[in-house]
Amino acid sequence: MALTFAKLKLRTLRNGFRGRPAKILMFVLGLLGALFYGALAFLLFLAAMTAGHDGLALAPAYGGTLLALAWLLMPLVWFGVDETLDPARFALLPIPKLVLLRGLLVGALIGVPAAATLLATSGLAVGAAIEGGPAAGAVGAVGVLLGLVLCVLMSRAVTSGFARALRARRTRDLAAVVLAVLAASLGPIQYAINSGAQSVGMDRLESIARVLGWTPFGAPYVVGQDAVAGDWAAVAGRLALTAAVIVLLAWWWSTSLESAMVGSAGDGGGSGTGPARAGSPTARFFRRSRAPRTAYGAMLVRELRYWLRDARRRASLITFAVVGIFLPVMLNVGPAAGDKQLPMAVQLLTMVGVGTLASVGIANQFGYDGSAYAAQVVAGIPGRLELRARAMAYSWLVLPVLLSVVALTVVLRGHPAELPAVLGVPLAAYGTGLACCLHLSVWGAYALPETQNPFAINTGTGVAKSLLAMAAMIAGPVLAAPVFLLAAFGGPVGSALALPVGLAYGLGAAWLGALTAGDALDRRQPELLAMVTPKR
Amino acid sequence: MKKFDTKLAVDGVDLAVPAGSFFGLLGPNGAGKTTTLSMAVGLLRPDAGRALVLGHDVWADPVRAKALVGVMPDGVRLFDRLDGTELLTYHGLLRGLAPDVIDQRVTELLDVLALADAGRTLVIDYSAGMKKKIALACALLHAPRLLVLDEPFEAVDPVSGATIRDILTRYVAGGGTVIFSSHVLEVVERLCSHVAVMAAGRIRTVGTLDEVRGERTLEEAFVEIVGGRTATGSELSWL
Ligand SMILES: Nc1ncnc2c1ncn2[C@@H]1O[C@H](COP(=O)(O)OP(=O)(O)OP(=O)(O)O)[C@@H](O)[C@H]1O
Ligand SMILES: [Mg+2]
């Protein structure tokens, strides 16, 4: 049965590539990149096992933990999980739950990230075999395999758990939940980075490694070392811990899987039927909004409503809010910042990053709509108008977050005089980023699968998505460089001028971007519709 | 003409729909009806050829052409996280109607299509037939000169079907033109003034209903034109 699932997955993958050379190219590029990093990590881990160097010997615990955390966080903040095998598709088939779970797990294990992880961590097993003979090697291999299963299961369980939470009715308390969870998970990373950065003595690092080795994150990767050292009790303990966590995760995943399968009739559910509102249809449509009663106003209001009602869009907004708020906190308080403050230029550089990040959410705006975009095509909406309304609606929601990031930064740094620069730079970066992402949304849109999980994407698009977004995330900051240079190196005058200049620059860039991308959109409407229509 | 990869979905269709006609587009599954209609309204770019709507080229002068057409595509999602009233209002605004006109038409349409109670439910929670009806309402809202409907009678209940037939008949009587694809031959026979039959991407027959049908029923004519198979009784004997 598991074999059937594996075949099914491979076949869906292959069919997805048929006749789409660009997608294949992206996939190959991603594969090569993954192989490169996987091989690099393989060598590191191999060296860690065989070199006998004190510092290197800590690599399994730290490296393994980082890997596991990456599996946990990456799908949430960035990549999404590959739902080529969408659980809802199996709802009607008489497959026992355990079999289904195993099959889906096998399906999930087939993929580039899993292969790269396996390649990297197998260095541990090989190293253990070299150092401690076949028995140690076997233990190392078991640890590596269990670690991989743990990572994959964790990313599945957490994303589908989150998906369930994000579907619930009230947006606000939900955001709080997500914030709390992410905050909690960022804490340890921050702690680890900070302690590393402060170059505490070897003892400290070792004691942390010891703790990490007994968390489910690090445990499966350290067993090889234990086996080499002949500490079989520790081996048994760590493997048991890992296995127990795997069972727990599997159980959690199966519960959320069930709800993913039954509830597939209508995803979202959104805010449901609101309280009966009196008034004419247009009054009901606009509610208290003062948007003009035109096509532009209608699109503006609809976009605003969609950013709040669509779980995927909501997830991307929340992600930005979390990252945006935590970046300044992490950089300016906590042990990393120490007593000396971040240099202003570096701080401004991070603000460029924040501004760019704010604009990225719009990069696949048409993908969120899917085939519903046909309504816009049929109505013959001019591209410029369309993009202007969309950018406006998005900014309406994102700019307040951006402003609070700025406010937080200024408060944390405690220099009100820096406000113009700290505000002007991210505004400029947001404007240029918006221009790039508007173009990206017209040229590089991709369809999202019609599933419940807001973090789900199709295989292959993960790579495409990140490559394209990477291009936009480089182009945006580069375009915003003049304002950054002015604010960072222009002395007090430049710093004061940064606000008006940054504002004008950002506005101008966004305006130009909307114009040029709008013209492109006019020429590409049917093609764009085809790109964002999910293939079923 | 439209080619998907190597498959020629629609091959040299030349179809003139007389203004004021009630035009039925028939054909077996996969004949290319949806593809043809999509190319005619600007949803799918043809590889070759043009589409004219009341003299305006859909691909050269889309704004003018699209303003005259109301479209109900098949298999396309709606902006389904709006409720029924919001969706209709949205479409009205997109088409540039004045707010008071929208208010009046939306209320009336929801009433006639028996969707008034569902006006506050998100469209995503609608049944298949309700989705069809609200999509039809979206196409009708701006009182277009031409209606292009892809399978409007699929999944709707008999009462609503009768209502839709009624609306469309009145619309044609008032000078509008309707072209729709359908598999429900009884409805086509009852409503249409003109019929075209497609198969494998080509128009096989086109003309007024009587020309196409001749002495037979429409169903017999259809089967003969597309060349259907007759059961021998030996297949599926295990069933
Ligand atoms: N996006 C697409 N990619 C590839 N092939 C397609 C695509 N859309 C349609 N086709 C092919 O084009 C042909 C015509 O499809 P079309 O949807 O126009 O048929 P139809 O007459 O509407 O059928 P039905 O009665 O089932 O709705 C089919 O063979 C179909 O496989
Ligand atoms: Mg069709």
pLDDT in tens, A266-307: 343 333 344 444 578 888 888 878 888 899 999 999 999 998
Average pLDDT over residues B7-15: 76
Contact list, B89 vs chain A (CB under 8 Å): 281-282, 284-285, 298
Alpha carbons A369 and A133: distance in angstroms, whole number: 57
Pocket lining: B38 vs ligand 1, CB cutoff 6 Å: no
Digits of tens for pLDDT over chain A (536 positions)? 778 888 888 887 787 777 777 778 878 888 888 889 899 999 988 888 887 666 777 888 888 888 888 887 776 655 556 666 667 677 777 778 788 888 888 888 888 888 899 999 999 899 889 888 898 899 999 999 999 999 999 888 877 776 665 555 444 445 545 555 565 555 555 555 655 555 556 677 777 788 888 888 888 998 888 888 888 888 999 999 999 999 999 888 888 777 666 654 334 333 334 444 457 888 888 887 888 889 999 999 999 999 888 877 877 787 787 777 777 766 766 544 555 667 888 888 889 989 998 998 898 899 999 999 999 999 999 999 999 999 999 999 999 989 988 988 888 788 888 889 999 999 999 999 999 999 999 988 888 876 655 566 655 566 666 677 788 788 999 999 999 999 988 888 888 899 999 999 999 999 999 999 999 999 999 999 998 888 75
Alpha carbons A200 and A531: distance in angstroms, whole number: 52
Domain boundaries, chain A: 10-260, 314-532
For atom 5 of ligand 1, the residue with the nearest CA is B4
Alpha carbons A380 and A368: distance in angstroms, whole number: 20
Q: Is ipTM beyond 0.85?
A: yes
Integer angstrom CA distances of residue A81 from A151, A268, A348, A536: 12, 18, 33, 18
Of ligand 1's atoms, which has the minimum distance to the CA of residue A535? 1
Do the Cβ atoms of A136 and A179 come closer than 8 Å? no
Give, in words, the CATH class of B2-226. Answer: alpha beta
Q: Mutation test of the interface with chain B: which of A267, A306, A373, A378, choosing the one with the most B Cβ atoms within 10 A?
A: A378
Pocket lining: B33 vs ligand 1, CB cutoff 6 Å: yes
Judged by DSSP in three states, A74 sits in helix
Judged by DSSP in three states, B168 sits in helix
Domain boundaries, chain B: 2-226
Q: Separation of B142 CA from ligand 1 center, angstroms?
A: 29
Contact list, A533 vs chain B (CB under 8 Å): 76
Do the Cβ atoms of A398 and A317 come closer than 8 Å? yes
User: Which run of H or of E encompasses A91?
Assistant: none
pLDDT (tens digit, 9 = 90+) per residue, A379-399? 999 999 999 999 999 999 999
Alpha carbons A154 and A249: distance in angstroms, whole number: 6
Cβ-in-10-Å burial (0-12, 13-18, 19+) of A258 comes to middle
For atom 8 of ligand 1, the residue with the nearest CA is B35
Q: CB neighbours of A204 closer than 8 A, spacing ≥ 6?
A: A195
Pocket lining: B32 vs ligand 1, CB cutoff 6 Å: yes
Are B81 and A309 in contact (CB < 8 Å)?
A: yes
CA-CA-CA-CA torsion sign (A535, B2, B8, B11): positive
- Report the DSSP pairing between strands B146-150 and B22-26: unpaired
Are A276 and B93 in contact (CB < 8 Å)?
A: no
Can you give the C-alpha Rg of chain A in angstroms?
A: 25
For atom 17 of ligand 1, the residue with the nearest CA is B34
Residue B6 has pLDDT above 70, yes or no: no
Alpha carbons B13 and B130: distance in angstroms, whole number: 32
Residue B70 has pLDDT above 80, yes or no: yes
Q: A252 to chain B nearest CA, in Å?
A: 28
Q: Mutation test of the interface with chain B: which of A23, A271, A285, A287, choosing the one with the most B Cβ atoms within 10 A?
A: A285
Q: Separation of B34 CA from ligand 1 center, angstroms?
A: 7
Q: Separation of B32 CA from ligand 1 center, angstroms?
A: 5
**A463 closest CA partner among A6, A5, A30, A10:** A30
**Closest residue to B81, CB basis, from A268, A299, A379:** A268
Q: Separation of B40 CA from ligand 1 center, angstroms?
A: 15
**A49 closest CA partner among A126, A148, A141, A116:** A126
Do the Cβ atoms of A472 and A436 come closer than 8 Å? yes
**A234 closest CA partner among A215, A214, A205:** A214
In the 8-state DSSP scheme, what is residue A488?
Answer: H
Are B79 and A372 in contact (CB < 8 Å)?
A: yes
**A124 closest CA partner among A72, A61, A66, A68:** A61
Average pLDDT over residues B150-169: 89
Do the Cβ atoms of A105 and A98 come closer than 8 Å? no
Alpha carbons A520 and A369: distance in angstroms, whole number: 19
Measured in whole angstroms, how far is the alpha carbon of residue B27 from the centre of its chain? 13
Q: Alpha helix (H) ranges present in A444-490?
A: 461-489
